[in-house]
């Protein structure tokens, strides 16, 4: 075995042949192999090592060079983690024959491979790619099979070239596979001739990466395509990271020029950007309206939502009920539910059943849930509707009252508090991954819809929902305007309130049972920008543990340990942090709490995925919408099983997660959809409630220390709120009511129509 000593700045590599395959996933190329080393950059004791990473299935006759780094796995010991690879194709007749019959190429078995090599020789693969007609000349290979083999060889070569090419730009296998799936055999053409398309087509590809690829491919640094790509990237990035529906033209020009300057090369000026914007408008890749610049999807979503909101708000009810009939109905409901509605609650119920559209707002403890339940029951009394779901057929006679929320946990809470079925907005609309089953031409069925947690709904989803509603439907939107706005573009709830064009009832009184909660009183103090004098005092349902930033993680662990001793589980306890990185960030807290709540054990299976380890009984969070399995961003579950490849028909590693009893199976290629959930961001917790909420607050969070963030975190707590860290960080957050501007024209459009 040859060894070399190279300068420290060179990346390490190992070169050799496959000795044994331990695991391989055909879908995402994830491999664990034992490699017989022939050459390496550093001295090692063993002649063969374990290599893990994403690369094509290796074969005995191939030589691979893997680039990466050595890591010590806590369970499996020393491994070489490959970040990229180079493959030397087989150079012998037997090697080429084995490679062709390896299963990589459709239509090629051992017999066909032998015939191909006999006729085309050691350069068979290149000959097939360059002269496919020669395949049909081989006995036993029909024209149809020849075409199948040719296309398979081209696809494999294209995919491998794509992987090797993109590795150079730090693009990992998951993103590289998505790029290939988007363009297929045209991938290398796109990458080398029109790489700026990546900015438009592939989420996760930023301008800098596309620009590096473009310049390396020979595209001129002065190309107008650079400017157009920079403009589109700024629109996309500000929409989905800052919540803007549009950007003022001058600001777009300024940001695009700044981005181009940071990337270096040719110096562009304002007229260059102005020309690029006009060209993009002519190409229908953006929309211009006065000084506002939109992505087309957001432009049409804002206009569409405005029209639908105006229609429902101004629509006269087909059935109107005299006051006497309403009071008779609400009186009957009060008797049935053994409740007495306050005047404001009665007003809310009456306005809801008499209006086409109504907005119900209020903070914690003000009775929003009570009113929602009252609206459902009074509506059913007035319209003669049964509230027994068993009396309805989902296809022929669906349940006429629809309760929806942006997240699964929020929908579940609605169902628990009303006793009626509830679901996510995505599920109601029939989200299929790229489109919805319901739209303006295929509306949903129903008479009353109540949408909870409206502050979480962005302009795009709101438009998709409202364009799918039948014209005669009564719609009630419920939300807390003091919570964080939606993660996606827009500020729909605030825009509707401030437009003053939609009937609204605001609940402000805190009711007796809620008055006993110091968590609720603290939330209302925060909403008003007040720091209570008893912040550091211990109450029956909340406490603040002072701690330095360096010790706050230990304090969180101690609180969790104490809660476990009192009989609480990881499901009951939710740690909320505003940032992901750092000693008091989501990632580090998750790593430490996993050790506490679910330590490694011989009795529990686990799988390593990147820097994360998933273990049976882990609490996990869904990060993306999965239309096929009907699990959505923000859903929390528990890992209930991990299967080895030999234990299932798919012959691959599988992980099963239970979401409130509904089991979803994940292939390794889907593990990126999950993360540990012992700690999550405040944004991810919206729409949920937890018995115990732990909130670390330190000055390290300074960029995120804002009133709405702390308020939203506090209101996630159902029974106990345990804060820890620096009281001054709490004060800074409460006094900081700056939300940052969100460019949206919805409010103005509603007023113009009104």
pLDDT tens per residue across span 277-328: 999 999 999 999 999 999 999 999 999 999 999 999 998 766 678 888 999 9
pLDDT in tens, 218-236: 889 999 999 999 999 999 9
CA separation for the pair 87, 18 (Å, rounded): 12
Q: Per-residue pLDDT for 465 more than 90?
A: yes
Q: Per-residue pLDDT for 164 more than 80?
A: no
For residue 314, CA distances in Å to 264, 349, 365, 378 come to 54, 18, 31, 22
Q: Per-residue pLDDT for 514 more than 70?
A: no
Band of residue 28 on the pLDDT scale cut at 50, 70, 90: low
Band of residue 163 on the pLDDT scale cut at 50, 70, 90: confident
pLDDT in tens, 363-405: 999 999 999 999 999 999 999 999 999 899 888 889 999 999 9
pLDDT at 7: 35
Of 162 and 491, which is predicted with more confidence? Answer: 491
Pairing of strands 679-681, 573-577: parallel
Mean pLDDT of the chain: 89
Band of residue 61 on the pLDDT scale cut at 50, 70, 90: low
Q: Per-residue pLDDT for 555 more than 60?
A: yes
* Over residues 113-133, mean pLDDT: 88
Q: Per-residue pLDDT for 48 more than 90?
A: no
Of 320 and 643, which is predicted with more confidence? Answer: 643
CA separation for the pair 298, 463 (Å, rounded): 10
CA separation for the pair 173, 176 (Å, rounded): 5
pLDDT at 317: 66
Q: SS3 of 747, please?
A: helix
Compute the chain's Rg from CA coordinates: 30
**Bridge partners for 577 per DSSP:** 681
Q: Per-residue pLDDT for 76 more than 80?
A: no
> What secondary structure letter does DSSP report for 11?
P
pTM higher than the cut 0.85: no
pLDDT at 736: 93
Band of residue 344 on the pLDDT scale cut at 50, 70, 90: very high
* Weakest mean pLDDT among 316-320, 507-511, 629-633: 316-320
Q: How wide is the angle at C-alpha 360 spanned by C-alphas 358 and 365, nearest 5°? A: 165
Q: Per-residue pLDDT for 600 more than 80?
A: yes
* Over residues 642-665, mean pLDDT: 87
Query: Is 167:13 a contact under the CB 8 Å cutoff?
Result: no
Band of residue 42 on the pLDDT scale cut at 50, 70, 90: confident
Band of residue 634 on the pLDDT scale cut at 50, 70, 90: confident
With a pLDDT cut of 70, the percent of the chain lying above it is 96
For residue 275, CA distances in Å to 286, 492, 567 come to 13, 32, 65
Band of residue 161 on the pLDDT scale cut at 50, 70, 90: confident
CA separation for the pair 576, 717 (Å, rounded): 10
Band of residue 273 on the pLDDT scale cut at 50, 70, 90: very high
Q: Per-residue pLDDT for 1 more than 60?
A: no
**Bridge partners for 357 per DSSP:** 475
Q: Per-residue pLDDT for 195 more than 80?
A: yes
pLDDT at 11: 66
Band of residue 47 on the pLDDT scale cut at 50, 70, 90: confident
* Over residues 192-208, mean pLDDT: 87
For residue 682, CA distances in Å to 483, 520, 623 come to 10, 17, 14
Q: Per-residue pLDDT for 447 more than 50?
A: yes
For residue 364, CA distances in Å to 481, 515, 546 come to 11, 10, 26
DSSP strand E in 513-624: where?
542-546, 573-577, 606-609, 612-615, 619-622
Q: Per-residue pLDDT for 2 more than 70?
A: no
Q: Per-residue pLDDT for 3 more than 60?
A: no
CA separation for the pair 303, 326 (Å, rounded): 35
pLDDT at 6: 33
pLDDT in tens, 674-717: 999 999 999 999 989 999 999 999 988 877 899 999 999 999 99
Give the phi and the psi of residue 692 in degrees, each rounded to 5: -125, 125
CA separation for the pair 76, 90 (Å, rounded): 31
pLDDT at 318: 64
For residue 696, CA distances in Å to 63, 428, 737 come to 51, 36, 20
With a pLDDT cut of 90, the percent of the chain lying above it is 58
3-state helix vs strand vs coil in the chain, percent to 5: 45, 20, 35
Residue 455: Cβ within 10 Å count: 25
> How many CA atoms lie within 13 Å of 748's alpha carbon, on the beta-carbon side?
4
Query: Is 288:281 a contact under the CB 8 Å cutoff?
Result: yes
């Amino acid at each position: 075995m040859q060894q070399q000593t190279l300068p420290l700045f060179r990346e390490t590599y190992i070169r050799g042949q496959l000795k044994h395959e331990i695991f391989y996933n055909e879908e995402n190329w994830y491999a664990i192999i034992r490699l017989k080393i022939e050459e390496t950059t550093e001295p090692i004791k063993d002649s063969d090592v374990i290599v893990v990473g994403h690369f094509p299935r290796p074969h005995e006759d191939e030589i691979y060079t893997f680039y990466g780094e050595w890591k010590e796995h806590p369970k499996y010991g020393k491994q070489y983690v490959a970040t990229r690879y180079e493959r030397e194709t087989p150079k012998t007749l037997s090697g080429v024959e084995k490679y062709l019959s390896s299963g990589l190429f459709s239509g090629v078995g051992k017999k066909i491979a032998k015939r191909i090599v006999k006729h085309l020789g050691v350069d068979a693969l290149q000959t097939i790619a360059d002269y496919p007609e020669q395949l049909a000349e081989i006995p036993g290979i029909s024209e149809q099979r020849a075409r199948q083999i040719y296309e398979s060889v081209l696809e494999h070569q294209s995919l491998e070239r794509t992987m090797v090419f993109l590795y150079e730009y730090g693009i990992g296998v998951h993103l590289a596979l998505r790029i290939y799936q988007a363009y297929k055999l045209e991938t290398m053409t796109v990458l080398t001739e029109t790489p700026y398309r990546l900015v438009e087509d592939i989420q996760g590809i930023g301008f800098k990466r596309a620009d590096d690829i473009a310049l390396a491919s020979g595209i001129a640094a002065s190309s107008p395509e650079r400017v157009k790509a920079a403009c589109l990237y700024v629109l996309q990035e500000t929409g989905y990271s800052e919540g803007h529906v549009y950007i003022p033209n001058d600001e777009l020009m300024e940001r695009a020029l700044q981005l181009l300057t940071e990337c270096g090369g040719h110096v562009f000026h304002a007229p260059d950007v102005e020309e690029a914007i006009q060209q993009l408008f002519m190409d229908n890749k953006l929309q211009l309206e006065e000084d506002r610049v939109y992505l087309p999807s957001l432009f049409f979503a804002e206009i569409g939502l405005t029209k639908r909101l105006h229609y429902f708000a101004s629509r006269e009810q087909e059935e109107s009920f005299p006051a006497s009939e309403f009071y008779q109905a609400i009186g009957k409901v009060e008797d049935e539910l053994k409740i007495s509605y306050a005047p404001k609650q009665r007003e809310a119920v009456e306005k809801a059943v008499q209006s086409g559209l109504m907005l119900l707002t209020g903070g914690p403890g003000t009775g929003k849930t009570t009113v929602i339940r009252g609206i459902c029951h009074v509506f059913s009394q007035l319209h003669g509707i049964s509230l027994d779901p068993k009396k309805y057929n989902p296809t022929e006679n669906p349940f006429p009252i629809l309760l929806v929320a942006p997240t699964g946990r929020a929908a579940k809470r609605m169902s628990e508090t009303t006793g009626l079925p509830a679901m996510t907005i995505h599920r109601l609309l029939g989200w299929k991954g790229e489109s919805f089953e319901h739209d303006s031409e295929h509306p949903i069925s129903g008479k009353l819809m109540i949408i909870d947690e409206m502050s979480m709904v962005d302009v795009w989803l709101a438009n998709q929902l409202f364009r799918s509603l039948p014209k005669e439907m009564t719609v009630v939107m419920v939300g807390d305007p003091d919570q964080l706005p939606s993660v996606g573009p827009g500020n729909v709830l605030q825009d509707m309130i401030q437009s003053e064009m939609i009937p609204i009832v605001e609940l402000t009184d805190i009711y007796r049972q809620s008055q006993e909660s110091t968590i609720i009183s603290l939330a209302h103090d925060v909403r008003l920008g007040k720091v209570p004098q008893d912040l550091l005092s211990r109450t029956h349902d909340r406490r603040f543990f002072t701690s330095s930033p360096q010790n706050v993680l230990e304090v969180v662990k101690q609180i969790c340990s104490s809660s476990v001793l009192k009989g609480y589980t990881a499901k009951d306890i939710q740690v909320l942090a505003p940032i992901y990185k750092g000693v008091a960030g989501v990632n580090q807290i998750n790593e430490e709490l996993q050790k506490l709540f679910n330590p490694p054990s011989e009795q529990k299976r686990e799988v390593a995925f990147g820097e994360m380890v998933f273990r049976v009984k882990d609490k996990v969070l869904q990060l993306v919408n999965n239309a096929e399995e009907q699990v959505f961003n923000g859903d929390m579950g528990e890992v209930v099983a991990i299967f080895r490849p030999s234990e299932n028909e798919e012959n691959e590693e599988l992980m099963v997660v239970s979401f409130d009893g509904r089991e979803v199976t994940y292939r390794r290629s889907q593990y990126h959809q999950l993360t540990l959930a012992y700690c999550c961001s405040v944004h991810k917790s919206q729409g949920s409630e937890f018995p115990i909420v732990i909130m670390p607050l330190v000055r390290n969070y300074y960029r995120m220390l804002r009133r709405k963030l702390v308020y939203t975190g506090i209101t996630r707590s159902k029974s106990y709120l345990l804060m820890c860290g620096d009281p001054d960080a709490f004060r800074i957050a409460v006094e900081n009511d700056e939300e940052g501007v969100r460019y949206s024209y919805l409010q103005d459009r509603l007023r113009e129509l009104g």
